[in-house]
Amino acid sequence: MTFYSVDPATEDVIASYPAHTHEEVDAILSRADEAQRSWARVDVTERALVIRRLGEVLVDRADEAAALISAEMGKPLSQARAEVVKCATACSYMADHATLALRDEHVATEFASSIVRREPMGLVLSIMPWNFPFWQFFRFAAPALVAGNGVLLKHAPTTMGCALLSVEICRAAGVPPDLVACVIVDVPDVERIIADRRVRAVTFTGSTLGGRAIGALAGKYVKKSVLELGGSDAYVILDDADVELAVHACIQQRFLNTGQSCIAAKRYIVHHAVADVVQQRILAELNTIELGPLARRDLKETLLDQVRRAVDEGATLYVDGEISDPAALDPGGRGFFVKAGLLVNVAPGSVADQEELFGPVASMIVVNDDREAIAVANGNAYGLGAAVFTRDQHRADTFVRELQAGSVFVNGAVRSDTRLPFGGVKDSGYGRELGMAGLMEFVNIKTVVEV
């Protein structure tokens, strides 16, 4: 089997990558396992120095990496470069804090000595998506490596060039040979890798459907797993909100990366008292947005189908500031481009409320009060992020308490931060990345007692 990288702006094939054979995968696993055992014996302070250097090399090669990201999945260059620089911040943060966080903890007991020790787990398989091909990998890899683990990268087939460049950058930074390795395999071969006794854990970022499959395999072979899955984040705009602030956040976080983000502001839940002004301001902003193409043809087709079904259910679509047929989203020509759109008159429980729309189309749902807003926000299967916009601290506190999400932002756009845990609840997954919680996901907590 051969995997192809296709430029989504032109539909031209830019590279091909033959899949590894079973024998090649076994050899990669053997080398990675040996490299990890040696790395685990390196003091954490020395490991941290390597991870700090990794951040520096990422910054040095940000332009090169950004160009490849843009070519393989269509992201505007400015956004692609920002993605790579953000990877460097994750490396710096883990380098700064790992030594203290991973130190032995002495616990007072009746024994002569009681110690809680945090040790590496071993080899961790990372199954990564195409939408943030550097960030999704390095936000996992930085804490995993500094904790003493080895990393196997199974990347999305369409961003295999990004995968190989990520491994190359790790080597250039002084990460030992084979400690970070790329396996070029198809989905059916993933089970064979998870089943291998040398692999101790798996982390997956992607769709909920894919997460269910990986979670089941991890359970079958008793492997630790972290799943960061889909989302349909609700941005609740109350009647006392700063509308300008709220609209800016909604636009920023819905259309970043052409709407291809798990924590995009996919649903605008708006109090009826401000619904008209919110709608008009959003429509005024749509034509100013910089959009690249969607990453693949099937993603474009899926989005257009979802919008067609939403309109059939009674929603109204705006494109270019006017009520439009779903076909107006497609500008035609080469490339997987889609125009920005806004669905209004969206009913709770409908397609645009229940499904994750992975592209530059937002859904607006009007509610009568806070209780209804909370019910609608919590009314689908996802629970990754949420935001509420209000000037009333008491109302904000109520939403923070009641919203079912891994992250809740007040008067601001939801975003991942290297210093803070990130992850979801419900069908958005389990486990955490980033922050100290992310560092601890792939350590073995060993209790050592001297009687």
Per-residue pLDDT of the chain (451 residues; tens, 9 = 90+): 999 999 999 999 999 999 999 999 999 999 999 999 999 999 999 999 999 999 999 999 999 999 999 999 999 999 999 999 999 999 999 999 999 999 999 999 999 999 999 999 999 999 999 999 999 999 999 999 999 999 999 999 999 999 999 999 999 999 999 999 999 999 999 999 999 999 999 999 999 999 999 999 999 999 999 999 999 999 999 999 999 999 999 999 999 999 999 999 999 999 999 999 999 999 999 988 989 999 999 999 999 999 999 999 999 999 999 999 999 999 999 999 999 999 999 999 999 999 999 999 999 999 999 999 999 999 999 999 999 999 999 999 999 999 999 999 999 999 999 999 999 999 999 999 999 999 999 999 999 999 9
Residue 303 within a domain: yes
The first and second tokens of residue 27, run together, are 């050899």
Q: Is 142 helix (H, G, I), strand (E, B) or coil?
A: helix
Alpha helices per DSSP H over 224-358 = 243-255, 275-286, 297-312, 351-354
List the catalytic residue out of 228, 355, 356, 441: 228
Measured in residues, the chain has a length of 451
Residue with tokens 């160009």: 67
In this structure, are 299 and 444 located in the same domain?
no
The answer to whether the Cα torsion of 269, 274, 275, 279 is positive or negative is: negative
Residue 12 within a domain: yes
Say how many domains are in the chain.
2
Residue 228 designated active-site:
yes
Residue 123 within a domain: yes
Nearest CA-CA partner of 126 in 421, 431, 448: 431
List the catalytic residue out of 262, 355, 433, 441: 262
- In 3-state terms the chain splits into helix, strand, coil percentages (rounded to 5) of 45, 20, 35
CA angle 109, 112, 118 (to 5 degrees): 70
User: Which helix (H) or strand (E) element contains residue 118?
Assistant: strand 113-120
Flag whether the pTM goes above 0.95: yes
Q: How far apart, in whole angstroms, are the C-alpha atoms of residue 442 and residue 202?
A: 9
In this structure, are 220 and 239 located in the same domain?
no
In this structure, are 220 and 250 located in the same domain?
no
Range of the domain at 124: 2-229+426-450
- Cβ count within 10 A of residue 189: 18
**CATH code at position 51:** 3.40.605.10
In this structure, are 220 and 244 located in the same domain?
no
Residue 91 designated active-site:
no
Q: Which residues pair with 447 in a beta bridge?
A: 116
